[in-house]
Amino acid sequence: MMFSKISGSRIFALPLVMALGACVSFGGKAPASMMVLTAENVVTAGAARTATAADALVIQTPEVPRKLDTNRVPVQIDASSIAYLKDAFWADKPARLMQNLLAETVSAKSGNLVLNEVDAGGKAVRYLSGSLLEFGIDAATNEAVVVYDAVKIVRGSATEKRRFEARRSVTAIEPAPAGAALNAAANDVANQIADWAG
């Protein structure tokens, strides 16, 4: 396991971190590659979606807590301590990666026209919003954890909110297995939301 300490924050579980293999560092060079999310359900090449902007579904960028407002991978050490996985970097921030994954998954599974807010030009009636609450590794259980509070908004109708969660085991708390497990958990959540959003 390799963690790097959160800048400006103390890690109170230092004995535990040391017991996990002296994985904390205060820096390090940039990785040779960056991680991305790959959708399991994709729109077929050449497939067309036709609808008015008002009939489209707009998927908004989710809100995130401060620990996820970065392209690094958080590791929950205990209830009050977080570190970042050393040499593990996303190609974009988790909020944008999850938004793109949701757009691809919902479009592929529903056949609906899915747009972002710019493309919809403020004319959409249906929105999928929410908060990405967890997108990292739980060191206590050796699992990747993705938790998403999705909000389904239809103008003129009641707003609905539901929490979705997925976990995947990681063989080691290292960049490659952590990235693969997070990708699988994120796809699980995206599929759940796609089925719910319709």
- pLDDT at position 194, please? 94
Q: Classify residue 3: in a domain, yes or no.
A: no
- Chain-centroid distance of CA 140 in Å reads 20
pLDDT (tens digit per residue) in 41-53? 887 775 556 656 6
Q: How far apart are CA 180 and CA 182, in angstroms?
A: 6
- pLDDT at position 4, please? 55
Quick check: 12 pLDDT over 90?
no
Q: What's 147-177 look like in SS3?
A: EEEEEEEECCCCCEEEEEEEEEECCCCCHHH
Q: What is the CATH number of the domain that holds 141?
A: 3.40.50.10610
- pLDDT at position 47, please? 59
- pLDDT at position 198, please? 74
3-state secondary structure of 145: strand
3-state secondary structure of 120: helix
Better-predicted residue by pLDDT, 147 or 112: 147
Q: Classify residue 118: in a domain, yes or no.
A: yes
Better-predicted residue by pLDDT, 19 or 50: 50
**Residue 58 structural domain:** 53-70+91-197
- pLDDT at position 115, please? 79
Q: Classify residue 21: in a domain, yes or no.
A: no
pLDDT (tens digit per residue) in 118-165? 766 677 788 899 999 999 999 999 999 999 999 999 888 889 999 999
- pLDDT at position 165, please? 98
3-state secondary structure of 54: helix
Domain total in the chain: 1
Average pLDDT over the chain, rounded to whole? 84
Q: Classify residue 28: in a domain, yes or no.
A: no
The dihedral region occupied by 105, where left means phi > 0, alpha psi between -120 and 50, and beta the remainder, is alpha
pLDDT (tens digit per residue) in 52-79? 666 788 899 999 999 999 999 999 999 8
Question: Cα angle at 117 between 106 and 133, to 5 degrees?
Answer: 60
Q: Classify residue 140: in a domain, yes or no.
A: yes
Write out the E strands in 44-142.
57-59, 72-78, 81-89, 114-115, 126-138
pLDDT (tens digit per residue) in 82-111? 999 999 999 999 999 999 999 999 999 987
Q: Classify residue 170: in a domain, yes or no.
A: yes
Q: Classify residue 166: in a domain, yes or no.
A: yes
- 10 Å CB burial of residue 79 (0-12, 13-18, 19+) is exposed
Q: Classify residue 10: in a domain, yes or no.
A: no
3-state secondary structure of 129: strand
How confident is residue 31, by pLDDT bands cut at 50, 70 and 90?
low
